[in-house]
Chains A and B, each alone.
Chain A
């Protein structure tokens, strides 16, 4: 049976960060990366731009073949992991081949959630997670006049903007009362939504889909309030869920995702998980969380790689922090940290509808708990560091509230000189 010291399932951000970390310490240990997609590694984040045509996917691969050759790693694409046997440390791929590994990283990411809406299985719909999805959607674009986007998360919003720019009339249907729940509060969401509405995108929040029917040249979505939305293209963007089917019948503990400790190790020794697939400690609460964002995948991937290679510089995961940078119609929104202000926290908010500027800072016991900004320049990386290092800002509170960017830069520059 083929053997490999390090086996990495997945070939995206978490997987690549892990491989990089391994190779910094162990230049020679045999390493195999398997990816379900047929292409070189790419980022799902990029896909909306593939749909709109702004990005040529052939030029946007995260790594090339030479990278793997130089790193003395085997890159096996077009193969999915279908089963693992943790006791014997054997992985089975969809072509029936088997690989024995010493250390395994699960970095298989997430897949779209398909909500159980009656009739959905009988109509054509799109999702957006893979390059294949994106190309299919892109091919559909010229024929599309009216598109329905179900779900106003990041994927849906990105897709909606790009479909609209591609010439379709778009309606976003969101069950909750605002767009981008989880990253922005209602007020910020309204500012963002306004930019969409100005571009003729219809946003229907608080709208629950009851059923879906095929209609002439498309679909009709029946909503709980009795209204209906019709379109010739339906995109399901109702969230994602970790890809863990192949873990059935294994002792690897799963909750919503693969449960991992601070070094990204699963409940089974020598098996790690990182990125969208993993459910790791939260920075804010006791319960482990999914944190399906790119920076999280990079960070967890690096930690897993260091742990796998025995890198002594490893520091454990400090907990997932929700983070986002969101650009839409030339505007920019940033969210770092939690928007749920704990009791006694100081919340300072300012906004200006005219300029579409918005800033909210939550300080908890003198420390940054969360910061949310629209069209207001802050450095998200700096803010993230301030949150996770729990920097005490009491002494510079006033200046920080007045000039978060300047103060943040000063603090981080002096800290990391």
Chain B
């Protein structure tokens, strides 16, 4: 089943101005009365807002309830279309809908429903606070869904593994003209590089040393470039190999601008070898080499900010991403891929580890989301021309406790340790904001020379809070 564009409602941004309804009534009923609108914003007694509008259901009950074949879901757009000519005004569709997404318009004398204005919804245009958002990521999902999964089935990752999700999505996107290098870690550990003469991928794959992923790919890529062949050199590395023992070679390749897409899957430690500390392990975290005992209470240093270090290399592209925000991840993957054709592209994906962080496997995406929502990790992107830009607002984070409480590795934290983490997060946010602000003060990126080489950034901008 394909994915479709959709109108999202961010209740927290809504101020109840009602302009969306007026815009809808004007566009659809040539009326200024909000009662003629096909959506309704309602305030509850606590002043919170709710939206009533057709959700363009995947398996629409209204369609099944129509005796006259007057409703049908358009397979191309996903919009549930209503045919005035066929409608017999029986209103049975309104019985089928639990959301009042289709309702009688008394003045018109028939049911009405949202049709997304053919792809340019008037309500969204009218919504200044951005509470209504037309999400057009469906194209990306559909494209990705139609791409071949280039890893074999049956990789032996832990149940609910986020890393497997990341690498499968990544390689689908990056495609078959790729050489994958996966240094020791969970990616080879689950069999991606193959085993005893068998391979784990459908593209060429290599299991480099923990220390030499970047230069090894650099040599390969240079040769293909010399031969005039378009081959993507893709690293799927862990945070340990990238931030610790492999950092020198990563830094060297980045500095030389080797045309590599270097993707780091950050699970905050050496999870494959049994959950040891890495320099990306956060302060306070339990690992098997920063155990909790009488004398120590988890890691006593803060995590190294590897992606920010990569910004210091002025890579062609640097971004952080999370599987809880797949649309954002896909956009960044596209941009990274594009940037890797002319320079070093670095993508840092936060990847909660159910096994090593001690939480139930079904919670993986939730944990990933909370990490972002609490500002424990920040989502941003950087190019030399456009600078650093937050791709998700860091204002109004959820309390850190909502994130920490989910994870066994923080179970032992004392209030002082939590305070330390909060302080560290605040500093991190401030540092990233400084980077972002410095850029905002500069002239608009598009007028600066060099932006054209960052052609990857010409796609639609990610949602900006």
Contacts and interface: CB of A to CB of B under 8 A. Distances in A.
Interface of A: 13, 16-17, 20, 24, 43-46, 49, 54-55, 59-62, 294-295, 298, 302, 323, 325-327, 330, 332, 334, 375, 377, 379-382, 384-385, 396, 399, 405-406, 408-410, 412-414, 416-417
Nearest to B100: A379
A43 B91 CA distance: 14
B64 A298 contact: yes
B123 to A, nearest CB: 15
A25 B314 CA distance: 50
Given A379-B100, A384-B98, 18 more contacts: A13-B67, A43-B67, A43-B68, A45-B67, A46-B67, A62-B67, A295-B95, A298-B64, A298-B65, A298-B96, A325-B90, A325-B92, A332-B106, A384-B95, A410-B50, A412-B98, A413-B42, A413-B99
B91 A409 contact: no
A50 B379 CA distance: 59
Contacts of A59: 69, 86
18 contacts: A24-B59, A45-B90, A49-B68, A55-B86, A59-B69, A295-B92, A295-B95, A295-B96, A327-B91, A332-B106, A379-B94, A381-B97, A381-B99, A396-B45, A409-B40, A409-B52, A414-B44, A417-B50
Contacts of B88: 46, 49, 54-55
Contact of A298 (B61, B90, B94, B109): B61
B429 interface: no
Contacts, number: 113
Contacts of A417: 11, 50
A60 B69 contact: yes
B418 interface: no
Contact of A406 (B42, B48, B103): B42
B64 A13 contact: yes
Nearest to A399: B45
A413 B92 contact: no
Given A49-B68, A410-B42, A60 B92 contact: no
A294 B64 CA distance: 9
A385 B98 CA distance: 6
Contact of A380 (B11, B48, B67, B91): B91
Contacts of A396: 45
B232 to A, nearest CB: 35
A7 B96 CA distance: 26
A59 B86 CA distance: 8
B104 interface: yes
B67 A381 contact: no
Interface of B: 11, 40, 42, 44-45, 48, 50-52, 59, 61, 64-65, 67-69, 86, 88-92, 94-100, 103-104, 106, 109
A12 to B, nearest CB: 9
Given A16-B64, A325-B91, A380-B94, A416 B50 contact: no
Contacts of A55: 68, 86, 88
B64 A381 contact: no
A211 B68 CA distance: 37
A127 B69 CA distance: 23
B257 to A, nearest CB: 47
A269 B379 CA distance: 55
A380 B99 CA distance: 10
B290 to A, nearest CB: 40
A87 B104 CA distance: 49
B389 to A, nearest CB: 30
A74 B103 CA distance: 35
A416 B45 CA distance: 18
A384 B95 CA distance: 7
B50 A414 contact: yes
> Which of the listed residues B45, B48, B88, B109 has the most CB atoms from chain A within 10 Å of its own CB?
B88
Contact of A381 (B45, B90, B95): B95
A337 B305 CA distance: 60
A30 B67 CA distance: 27
A410 B44 contact: yes
A160 to B, nearest CB: 16
A294 B92 contact: yes
A294 to B, nearest CB: 6
Nearest to A388: B98
A295 B67 CA distance: 10
Contacts of B86: 55, 59-60
A131 to B, nearest CB: 12
A264 to B, nearest CB: 16
Contacts of A381: 61, 94-100
Contacts of B11: 417
Contacts of A49: 68, 88
Closest 5 CB pairs of A and B: A43-B67, A325-B91, A45-B67, A413-B50, A379-B100
A17 B67 contact: no
Contact of B98 (A330, A382, A406): A382
> Which of the listed residues A44, A323, A332, A381 has the most CB atoms from chain B within 10 Å of its own CB?
A381
Nearest to B98: A385
Contacts of B67: 13, 43-46, 60, 62, 294
A60 B68 contact: yes
Contacts of A409: 40, 42, 50, 52, 100
A303 to B, nearest CB: 13
B64 A408 contact: no
B95 A380 contact: yes
Contacts of A17: 64
A60 B87 CA distance: 9
Nearest to B48: A414
A348 to B, nearest CB: 20
A295 B59 contact: no
Contacts of B69: 59-62
Contact of A412 (B59, B65, B96, B99): B99
A408 B44 contact: no
A416 B42 contact: no
B416 to A, nearest CB: 38
Contacts of A408: 100
A33 to B, nearest CB: 15
Contacts of A410: 42, 44, 50
A87 to B, nearest CB: 34
B44 A325 contact: no
Contacts of B64: 13, 16-17, 20, 298, 302
A276 to B, nearest CB: 13
B92 A46 contact: no
B125 to A, nearest CB: 22
> Which of the listed residues A24, A405, A413, A417 has the most CB atoms from chain B within 10 Å of its own CB?
A413
A334 B106 contact: no
A10 to B, nearest CB: 15
A74 to B, nearest CB: 21
Contacts of A62: 67, 69
Contacts of B40: 409
A54 to B, nearest CB: 7
Contacts of B100: 379, 381-382, 405, 408-409, 412
B97 to A, nearest CB: 4
Contacts of B61: 298, 381
A409 B96 CA distance: 14
Contacts of B109: 330
Given A24-B59, A377-B106, A327 B89 contact: yes
Contacts of B45: 396, 399
Nearest to A379: B100
Nearest to B102: A381
